[in-house]
Amino acid sequence: MTEASPIRVDIVSDVVCPWCVIGYRQLALASEQTGIPVEVHWHPFELNTDMPPEGQNLREHIAQKYGSTIEESEASRQRLTELGAELGFEFNYAADMRMVNTFRAHQLIDWAATKGKAHEVKMALFASFFTDRRDVSQPDVLGDAAVAAGLDRDEALEVLRDERMAGDVRKKQQFWTGHGISGVPAMVFSQQHLVTGAQGVENYGRILQHLAEA
């Protein structure tokens, strides 16, 4: 590896996972601070594969899934909001926020990857859900994300209508769960080293330096 060679990082994540955007932002800052470039590849994971079309109130969902109290939920939201602000990302939580199905969102990202725009769409969807509190299961919201990434809205909506990416997304999801990924973010560095959870800027920096020196 030459000094300028980027380190490949495969990130398995969901667009409604707050720690996924936190983890990515920490990694990006570590890359900036160390001067070690990374080449990010996004992979699909659904936190809630059985989420109904109408979604579920986010606080109720968290309480049901993890047993969190209202106080614990508020403390977690406050911590995420502060972490996000430190990393330049705005979490804009509200009492009426809803957890939604993300299968369409992953189809859009996979299609965007064929155009070299997966990263841009992923970032747009993180912002749509957490900052703008929009329903990222809805075609109009996904179309806006495509436009924000410089893609054609009509083509994006056609991709979602005919579900041409659905089979590939399911196969990729099954690949990662079949390899033991049960929570996200999950990052695989240099296609060898699995790191789970948002590890912090310093830890990511140490990982990048270790790999760059190897």
Judged by phi (left if over 0) then psi (alpha if -120 to 50, else beta), residue 133 lies in left
Q: Are residues 35 and 87 in the same domain?
A: no
Q: Are residues 25 and 1 in the same domain?
A: yes
Q: Are residues 34 and 61 in the same domain?
A: no
Does 50 fall in a domain? Answer: no
Q: Are residues 88 and 106 in the same domain?
A: no
For the chain, residues with pLDDT lower than 70 are 1-4
The model's pTM: 0.95
> Could you write out the three-class secondary structure of 163-192?
CCCHHHHHHHHHHHHHCCCCCCCEEEECCC
Res 4: pLDDT:
62
Specify the number of domains making up the chain.
3
Task: Report the 10 Å Cβ neighbour count for 92.
Answer: 13
Q: What is the token pair recorded at 16?
A: 């409604």
* 42-92: pLDDT as tens digits: 999 999 989 988 899 998 998 888 898 889 999 999 999 999 999 999 999
Does 170 fall in a domain? Answer: no
- CATH number, position 211: 3.40.30.10
Measured CA to CA in angstroms, residue 1 lies from 36, 103, 171, 194 at distances of 11, 37, 31, 20
Q: What is the token pair recorded at 68?
A: 């969190």
Q: Are residues 93 and 137 in the same domain?
A: no
Q: Give the dihedral of Cα atoms 90, 77, 30, 213; nearest 10 deg.
A: -150
Q: Are residues 118 and 160 in the same domain?
A: yes
- 201: domain range? 1-45+181-214
